[in-house]
Structure 1
Amino acid sequence: MSHLPLLSHVSLGTNDFDRAVAFYDAIMPALGCKRLEQFPGAAAYGRDYPEFWVQTPIDGTAANVGNGTHIGFTATDKAAVQAFYDAAMAAGATGDGAPGPRPYYGEPYFGCFVRDPDGHKIEAAFWDLSLEPKQPHQC
């Protein structure tokens, strides 16, 4: 079994880099993350290494939002989901699903969805694995 993550990182494009960096600087601490790197037109966030980037498109054309695309961040508990949502709303996000359970995602799920100032859909979710149904032992 490999402990190497499936994804190295994800990036979202922005048409207003300074606004995007200010937004993510305001919300990422709720998840225990911070800005780890910055280059002209690109900034990276994470807990230990740069996992999430926000940047102006390298080809110089306008960034746009992917229909059906969203980025999901892991929260450590329900309070972190709420703190993320509150920070996002205070920083200019548009709500797209208030913090709470989503029974159709499974009993352990508690999360929220917002749209960042560029319109990208982002999620913070906590999975309470203590609520996961126990599987019977199979011999």
Structure 2
Amino acid sequence: MADANPSILSHISLGSNRFDEAVAFYDQVLPTLGCRRILAHPGAVAYGREYPEFWVQRPHDGRPASVGNGSHIGFIAPDRDAVDAFYRAALAAGARDEGAPGPRPDYGEPYYGCFVRDLDGHKIEATFWDPNAHLE
């Protein structure tokens, strides 16, 4: 049976030790990619385009959140301009630079992206896969 949703993931959740600041950060950054706040519960906020795909939350077990070494979250951007806007908005909201927008030939010719660290230190990315990039 074919699924209309091309994604393989239901959602991603990141724990935060600075929950209110993290929510303010993502409220500022994710609209550059066409995402909005979809749900809010005490200690958890969900973002997405149509359904809750990305959650920021206080850890359920009450212990401090930690950052995964070697992991990152990649958000889909509709075009290169959105990647650039995401990067600018993230830095303006307090993110640390981990790689300015640009092509990443190691990831494939069509790949264009940027990397930042959010307020808790999670590595996040905006990326656009441009099927016409090889024609440039």
The TM-score with structure 1 as length reference comes to 0.92
Residue by residue, what CA displacement relative to the aligned partner does 1:26-76 show, whole Å, maximum 9, x if unpaired?
000100001111000000000111000000000000000000110000000
> Number of residues paired by the alignment?
133
Paired residue for 2:133? 131
Unaligned runs of at least 5 residues, structure 1: 134-139
Q: What is the letter of the counterpart of residue 65 of structure 1?
A: V
The AA in structure 1 aligned to 2:4 is H
Which of the residues 97, 103, 106 maps onto 1:104? 106
Query: 1:111 is matched by which residue type in structure 2?
Result: G
Structure 1 stretches (4+) deviating beyond 6 angstroms?
Answer: none
SS in 2 for 1:18: helix
**Distance (whole Å) between structure 1 residues aligned to residue 23 and residue 3 of structure 2:** 33
Match of 1:61 in 2: 63
- Structure 2 unaligned segments of length 5 or more: list them: none
Q: Report the counterpart of residue 39 of structure 1 in structure 2.
A: 41
Q: Which string of whole-angstrom CA distances, capped at 9 and with x for unpartnered residues, describes residues 103-135 of structure 1?
A: 1111101000000000000000001012358xx
Structure 2 length-normalised TM: 0.94
Name the CA distance, whole Å, in 2 between partners of 1:37 and 1:2.
24
Q: Secondary structure at the match of 2:64?
A: coil
